């Protein structure tokens, strides 16, 4: 079975300059994604798609391949991740062979765990009609009791019909954890969507999920990572 990891890592991050190779808990943050992919034992190749020679050098030093440079047209703030994956798969098809499965792994995902990568592939393979499987987690509070502030500065419920509904009676809701997306390559080439018409979830615990889009997010993630490592250290004593 031919399985490839694709890690998008462009150079032009605005809110966190140099984000994809900025040091996080002692390592370039991209190292965690590369090492988790390698530790899973699932992948024939771990490829980084980048437009940057500097990112390429760091990625290679961490054990990834960088067999091509991503074109500038796919390296701006508005390029969808799906387009980057499509470019990588087309390159593989033209220069080697199209993998049966791929996993798009974000570069800034220091909480990524090999076991959840394995779970994702198993879930995708078990769901014969699914095109993709990706990591999600549940909201900490019921979204159906969410509030908004109107134009007059007043607070109101978005779903007022749930004003008196008990939290325990509301269904759970989930959001994209922003870590990884498994896909069947041939189906992806047709649908060109990571959140496909038929996708299955890989549910992560909330303590392994943190968006890293702003300096505040970065600091929060470092606190969470330190706490996780401290807990693991004590558990191993």
Q: Which domains does the chain have, with CATH numbers?
A: 3-136+173-235 (3.90.550.10)
pLDDT attached to residue 237? 66
Residues shown for the chain: 237
Structure tokens at 129: 């009609």
Task: Write out pLDDT tens, residues 126-149.
Answer: 999 999 999 999 999 999 999 999
pLDDT attached to residue 92? 97
Low-confidence ranges of the chain (pLDDT < 70): 1, 237
Q: 27, 85, 19: which is closest to 52 by C-alpha?
A: 19
| Residue 222 buriedness (CB in 10 A; 0-12 / 13-18 / 19+) | middle
pLDDT attached to residue 231? 87
Mean pLDDT over the full length of the chain = 96
| CA atoms lying within 13 Å on the CB side of residue 231 | 7
Helix axes 114-126, 29-40, angle to 10 degrees: 60
DSSP character for 65? B
């Amino acid at each position: 079975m031919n399985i490839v990891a694709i890690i998008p890592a462009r150079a032009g991050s605005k809110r966190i300059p140099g984000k994809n190779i900025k040091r996080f808990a002692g390592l370039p943050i991209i190292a965690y994604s590369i090492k988790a992919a390698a530790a899973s034992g699932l992948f024939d190749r771990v490829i980084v798609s980048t437009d940057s020679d500097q990112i390429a050098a760091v990625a290679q030093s961490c054990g990834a391949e960088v067999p091509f440079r991503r074109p500038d047209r796919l390296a701006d703030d508005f390029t969808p991740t799906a387009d980057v994956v499509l470019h990588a798969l087309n390159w593989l098809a033209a220069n080697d062979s199209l993998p049966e499965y791929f996993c798009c792994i974000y570069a800034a995902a220091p909480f990524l765990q090999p076991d959840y990568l394995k779970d994702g592939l198993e879930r995708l393979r078990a769901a014969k009609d699914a095109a993709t499987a990706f990591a999600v987690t549940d909201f900490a509070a019921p979204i159906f009791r969410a509030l908004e502030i109107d134009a007059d500065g007043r607070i109101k419920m978005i779903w007022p019909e749930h004003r008196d509904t008990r939290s325990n009676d509301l269904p759970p809701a989930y959001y994209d954890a922003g870590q990884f997306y498994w896909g069947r390559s041939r189906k992806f080439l047709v649908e060109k969507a990571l959140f496909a018409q038929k996708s299955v979830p890989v549910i992560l615990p909330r303590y392994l999920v943190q968006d890293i889009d702003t300096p505040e997010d970065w600091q929060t993630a470092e606190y969470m990572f330190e706490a996780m490592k401290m807990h693991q250290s004590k558990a191993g004593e």
